[in-house]
């Protein structure tokens, strides 16, 4: 029974949906950039790349919960560590195993992917351990890590121009969502003494910055219509519709609304992945 609770807690800590969505993006980006005809030229990257991203994401998520234990006791007491399902030591070991696995798998692909995985893992660990003092810089670090795989894949496929706009979209939309999540967590952050944009400058100013960031990301996604057809445009507009709650509600944003808007952005990100896949296959 104890072992089952531990496994359940560890599974919850990695936030499997987030990791899966990040991982499944890898082959879709190869498809988007290389096209159906060039997709088969990157079998090793397409097979192992998603595992690298999944493990890095998992390691960062677990370590984040370790560092956020004091805050989660206030904001999210049902999370695995504050609820007692997983001990802090077990979570730290699990996080290290995830990062180690990420680097090992990356070493089987190429030197470029290995370097990117090491830098990304260190950046996430740095953010997790020092996020209390980093504030908005920490949000920016996470966003850059999310955007970096697009650049790496662009360099592998030679499609750096299109990859750059994908990276901008991923980074700016993630940055906006990170700021919105900080509004949701503002009570715990304030009690714990964590520097965050809403704790220092208020929810409205934070939401304005988040809105601008998400608008920039949405414009980058629309720009990619220049390379793909109406199927891509139609589906990406559905994604932007899900992002719109963050764009039009900066004045009336509350902690409760922040949680809903954050989930809508996650849904919009999933629809974006679908748009990239359908746009590559159908135009």
Residues 231 and 283 reside in one and the same domain: yes
Distance separating alpha carbons of residues 40 and 46, to the nearest angstrom: 9
CATH code of the domain in which 61 resides: 1.10.357.140
Residues 154 and 173 reside in one and the same domain: no
Residues 76 and 88 reside in one and the same domain: yes
Last residue of a domain, one of 158, 189, 204: 158
> Which runs of consecutive H residues, i.e. helices, occur in the chain?
2-13, 16-38, 43-67, 69-75, 80-83, 88-107, 111-134, 136-157, 160-184, 186-192, 197-201, 203-223, 230-248, 255-282
User: What pTM was computed for the model?
Assistant: 0.81
148 and 120 Cβ atoms separated by less than 8 Å? yes
Residues 17 and 151 reside in one and the same domain: yes
What pLDDT score does 106 carry? 96
Residues 145 and 33 reside in one and the same domain: yes
Residues 80 and 10 reside in one and the same domain: yes
Residues 102 and 54 reside in one and the same domain: yes
What pLDDT score does 48 carry? 95
Residues 79 and 137 reside in one and the same domain: yes
Give me the domain span that covers residue 150: 1-158
Digit-coded pLDDT (tens) for 257-272: 777 788 888 888 989 9
Last residue of a domain, one of 158, 193, 222: 158
DSSP string, 189-204: HHHHT---HHHHH-HH
Residues 22 and 145 reside in one and the same domain: yes
Residues 69 and 20 reside in one and the same domain: yes
CB-CB neighbours of 152 under 10 Å: 22
Last residue of a domain, one of 134, 158, 182: 158
Distances (CA, A) of 68 to 123, 128, 194, 262: 17, 8, 10, 19
Residues 145 and 64 reside in one and the same domain: yes
The structure tokens 């992002």 sit at 243
CATH code of the domain in which 243 resides: 1.20.120.1780
Residues 58 and 175 reside in one and the same domain: no
What pLDDT score does 91 carry? 92
As for how many domains the chain has, the answer is 2
What pLDDT score does 194 carry? 60
What pLDDT score does 131 carry? 63
pLDDT along the chain (283 residues), means of 10: 79 90 90 87 92 94 85 77 87 95 95 94 84 73 88 92 93 90 66 63 80 92 87 92 73 65 86 90 76
């Amino acid at each position: 029974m104890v072992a089952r609770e531990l496994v359940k807690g560890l599974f919850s800590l990695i936030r499997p949906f987030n990791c899966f969505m990040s991982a499944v993006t890898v082959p879709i980006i190869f498809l988007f950039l290389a096209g159906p005809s060039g997709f088969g030229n990157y079998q090793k990257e397409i097979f192992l790349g998603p595992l690298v991203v999944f493990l890095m994401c998992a390691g960062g998520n677990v370590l984040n919960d370790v560092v956020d234990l004091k805050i989660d006791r206030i904001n999210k007491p049902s999370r695995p560590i504050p609820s007692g399902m997983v001990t802090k030591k077990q979570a730290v070991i699990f996080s290290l195993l995830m990062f180690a696995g990420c680097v090992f798998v990356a070493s089987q692909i190429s030197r470029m992917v290995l370097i990117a995985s090491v830098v990304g893992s260190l950046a996430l660990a740095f953010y997790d351990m020092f996020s209390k003092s980093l504030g908005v810089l920490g949000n920016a670090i996470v966003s850059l890590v999310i955007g970096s795989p697009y650049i790496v894949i662009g360099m592998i496929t030679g499609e750096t121009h299109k990859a750059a706009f994908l990276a901008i979209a991923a980074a700016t939309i993630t940055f906006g969502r990170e700021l919105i999540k900080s509004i949701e967590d503002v009570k715990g952050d304030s009690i714990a003494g964590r520097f965050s944009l809403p704790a220092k400058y208020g929810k409205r100013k934070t939401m304005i910055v988040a809105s601008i960031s998400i608008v920039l990301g949405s414009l980058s996604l629309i720009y990619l219509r220049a390379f793909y057809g109406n199927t891509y445009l139609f589906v990406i507009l559905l994604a932007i519709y899900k992002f719109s709650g963050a764009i039009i509600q900066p004045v009336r944003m509350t902690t409760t609304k922040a949680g809903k808007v954050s989930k809508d952005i996650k849904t919009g990100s999933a629809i974006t992945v679908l748009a990239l896949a359908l746009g590559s296959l159908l135009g």
